[in-house]
A and B are shown apart, each in its own frame.
Chain A
Amino acid sequence: MGELKLMKGNEALAEAAIRAGVDGYFGYPITPQSEVIEYLMAEKPYERTGMVVLQAESEVASINMLYGGGGTGKKVMTSSSSPGISLMQEGLSYLAGAEIPCVVANVVRGGPGLGDIQPAQSDYFQSVKGGGHGDYRLIVLAPSSVQEMSDFVPLAFDLAFKYRTPALIISDGLIGQMMEKVELFDQIPRLTDEEVIKRHPWATNGKPVGGERRILTSLDLDPHKLESHNWHLQAKYKTIEENEVRFEMLHCEDAEYIIVAYGSSARIAQKSIQLAREKGIKVGLLRPITLWPFPKKPIDELTKRGIKGFLSVEMSAGQMIEDVKLVVEGRTKVEHFGRYGGVIHSPEQVLEALEQKIIGG
């Protein structure tokens, strides 16, 4: 059993960064996730593991620091909240294009614009549908507990390096700020410079003696070459879709209705399901853990099994519902429910929506 602690989600994420053997964290403060960089500065990770922590001048700078640092084969990470993540979109597109691994955490707040500092899930489109320019994807992990804020850091790095692509951890102000018991994993040692050089021959950390120089770029002025590069990226994304879908199913065995919800909404929906079952309504929960790749197969199987309706519960005006509908293809009813702009729906409101929009509707 690992060390048990009562921690905020943001602190768990920061502690996990140190323990995951991250080499560099580059960030810029923004509510509701400033605790991440504050915790890291206070912890002196330089003394614990040799990890570099730097407060950048902007999120534009931090994401480009990830490009530079990640491009040398080191484990690099940043975190921010919605407006800051918007500023990073150009950089994420470059990172995806140049195939540089890194981990970015978004503790989502209400939008659009400056919005507010309350929890929201309205950055789904931005996270899974591109965000920046060009045909690219991010691996998107959605923790629904403080425990997962910790566990998903090493997982995100494993995936980012396995596929040489940026990975995004998307939580929200609720998970970031709430305190829960968390079992911390043991320290994963940082790789030595020699190990980094050996493990990542693509990385630019000094041309090997007698070898070829390495170039990291997202530019190719020859459209045919750029198209081939895109084919390569698309093939990689297909492999990720085939191998890395993660989800959780709760009370789905006998369910007639399914709530699809991730992150905080999945936590709230668990209570709604309990309330529903007390009333004799057979409802289950499908919780996507990877928002991209999206768990299409379980939704398709549930549809084939004759589920009478899906309710996509999100703290947004209805974003993930589009992906649910793409799988269901009109075979059964799909509706959305959610409060947004920083308002959190109650379990009772979710149940009411299920009864009105799916069962009664």
Chain B
Amino acid sequence: MSEITLQDIIKPENLVYKKTSLMTNKALSYCPGCGHGTTHRLIMEVIEELGKENETIGVAPVGCSVLAYEFMNVDMQEAAHGRAPALATAIKRLWPGKVVFTYQGDGDLAAIGTAETIHACNRGEKIVIVFINNGIYGMTGGQMAPTTLPGMKTATSPYGRDVATMGNPLKMTELVATLPGTYYVTRQSVQTPAAVRKAKKAIKKAFQNQLDDKPGVSFIEVVSNCNSGWKMEPVQSNTWMEENMFPFYQIGDLKVDGKLIDR
């Protein structure tokens, strides 16, 4: 039997996975194991599969994904902290035929940008909002976010989030699902291959809604980890997320085709 060389393996018929050309070659700035990178890739794969790379305008937030525009190989604008939905509103209103999305963390979307989020959703803007909920401010060093779980320790809740003085975590996704202006609202995660596949399906559905000119926002929350902020190993952080975040932030669709799902 002759030796099999690498050249024998690298053949089109053996190709099982290929990096989308809509991710740049720049090394991701995210911590190893962080969900941001995976979610970036899914969005870019979907845009490539839909053939919309030349018609897409993305809006990056302020947060760890502030540099999303370095990695996403489409036209991008970098918004001020929390304002991405306002930018996206104007872009879509002025270019109704283009594909417009925002990518935002939980501090960006559910704290400083609450008004922009609620009102873009309430106006029924025909945009996609991707919301990375890691229950913490990753970028600034692990402070409490509006989504931080009760009792969870962060840099600004060092003894754990005390709901009596610090308030309860905000379920923004449940909130926007009640607004008539949202068309598709779902909560996903990207910590396992199965979850990644489901999340990609959801992202594709969201963008397809926009291509089909469906009335309203398609809103995807991705419950994610922040191993650095949570001070955990990547694998440990995923287990912690499944055990602690998922019971509070239940994975699944909240609203499909404009109709609330009984859950």
Contacts and interface: CB of A to CB of B under 8 A. Distances in A.
Interface stretch (A54-62, A143-151, A237-245): A54-62
Contacts of A217: 60, 69, 76-78
Nearest to A95: B80
A91 B59 contact: no
Interface in B77-135: 77-80, 83, 86-91, 93-95, 98, 115-116, 119
A26 to B, nearest CB: 6
Interface residues of A, number: 39
A67 interface: yes
Contacts of B75: 204-207, 213-215
Nearest to B55: A206
B19 to A, nearest CB: 16
Contacts of A65: 86-87, 89-90
Contacts of A213: 73-76
Nearest to B70: A215
A144 B89 CA distance: 34
**Dominant SS at the B interface?**
mixed
Contacts of B56: 206-207
B91 A71 contact: yes
A56 B86 contact: yes
B64 interface: no
Interface in A180-218: 193, 204-209, 213-218
A114 interface: no
B55 A68 contact: no
A64 B94 contact: no
Contacts of B59: 68
A207 B66 CA distance: 20
Contacts of A71: 77, 87, 91
Contacts of A61: 83, 86, 89, 115-116, 119
B119 A216 contact: no
A134 B77 CA distance: 20
Given A67-B79, A217-B77, A54 B89 contact: yes
A321 B232 CA distance: 59
A284 interface: no
B54 interface: yes
Contact of A207 (B74, B79, B89): B74
A193 B98 CA distance: 11
Contact of B77 (A24, A90, A207, A216): A216
A219 B78 contact: yes
A204 B93 contact: no
A41 interface: no
A54 B116 CA distance: 14
A122 interface: no
A94 B59 CA distance: 14
Nearest to B80: A94
B115 A52 contact: no
A69 interface: yes
B57 A205 contact: yes
B57 A26 contact: no
Most buried by A among B56, B73, B91: B91
Contact of A205 (B79, B87, B95, B116): B95
B253 interface: no
A209 B54 contact: yes
B115 A205 contact: no
A172 interface: no
A74 interface: yes
B115 A58 contact: yes
A23 B94 CA distance: 7
B91 to A, nearest CB: 5
A98 B76 CA distance: 12
Contact of B93 (A52, A91, A207): A52
B53 interface: yes
A140 interface: no
Contact of A206 (B54, B77, B78, B116): B54
A206 B79 contact: no
A66 interface: yes
A80 interface: no
Nearest to B92: A68
Contacts of A165: none
Contacts of B89: 54, 61, 65, 68
Contacts of A218: 78
Given A69-B94, A72-B91, A204 B77 contact: yes
A24 B88 CA distance: 13
A76 interface: yes
A193 B97 CA distance: 11
B117 to A, nearest CB: 10
Contacts of A204: 57, 75-77
Given A61-B116, A68-B59, A76 B90 contact: yes
B90 A66 contact: yes
Most buried by B among A71, A98, A218: A71
Interface string A20-36: 00011010000000000
B83 A52 contact: no
A206 B98 contact: yes
A60 B80 CA distance: 10
Given A206-B95, A215-B78, 19 more contacts: A24-B90, A52-B93, A52-B94, A61-B83, A61-B89, A67-B79, A67-B90, A68-B87, A71-B77, A71-B91, A91-B80, A91-B83, A94-B79, A204-B57, A204-B77, A207-B53, A207-B74, A207-B75, A214-B76
11 contacts: A26-B90, A58-B115, A61-B86, A67-B79, A72-B90, A72-B94, A91-B83, A206-B98, A215-B77, A217-B60, A217-B78
Q: Would you list the 7 A-B pairs with minimal beta carbon distance, nearest first?
A: A68-B87, A69-B90, A217-B78, A64-B86, A65-B90, A204-B75, A68-B90
